[in-house]
Amino acid sequence: MFVRKKKNRSGSISVQIIDKSYGAYRVLKTVGSARDEGEIERLYREAIEEIPRMFNQLTLSLFDQEEAQQRHSVEDLSNDDIRIVGPELVFGRIFDRIGFNQIPEPLFRDLVISRITHPGSKLNLN
């Protein structure tokens, strides 16, 4: 399921929630249409928020609500906003949020992150 912006014959752009099942696209809902770029972006965000509501799904976040509101959307990112971070920073935060940091063994964290970043047999040395 995804959201698409489709140009109409009239020149406006429709924002639609699409499902692709069994090789066919199906429009589940048309959120609206507009010509103004700002209005199109508002409709797009509304459609993204509508998807979980359509199926009564709970949205789980790895971030606090306040933190989630402060994050930029992918469209707003530029090259200056992107930083290279190590697996420890990314997966370490998830590790802590899940509650695995309650286990006192210091190697446990390293082993879990290692298995996520390098899945496969540790016996295979090649």
* pLDDT per position as a tens digit, 18-44: 988 888 889 999 999 999 999 999 999
Q: Is residue 6 part of a domain?
A: yes
Q: What is the pLDDT of residue 111?
A: 84
Mean pLDDT value across residues 60-82: 57
Residues 11 and 50 in one domain: yes
Residue 31 to residue 7: CA distance in whole angstroms = 14
- Are 8 and 45 in the same domain? yes
* Same domain, yes or no: 31 and 72: no
Extract the tokens encoding 122: 């540790």
- Whether residues 24 and 46 fall in one domain: yes
Structural domain harbouring 72: 68-117
Residues 96-115: pLDDT tens digits?
899 988 998 878 888 888 88
Asked whether residue 76 falls in the same domain as residue 99, the answer is yes
50 and 86 belong to one structural domain: no
Strand order in the sheet with 2-7: 2-7, 13-21, 24-34
Number of compact structural domains in the chain: 2
What global pTM score does this model have?
Answer: 0.45
Mean pLDDT, range 60-76, rounded to an integer: 56
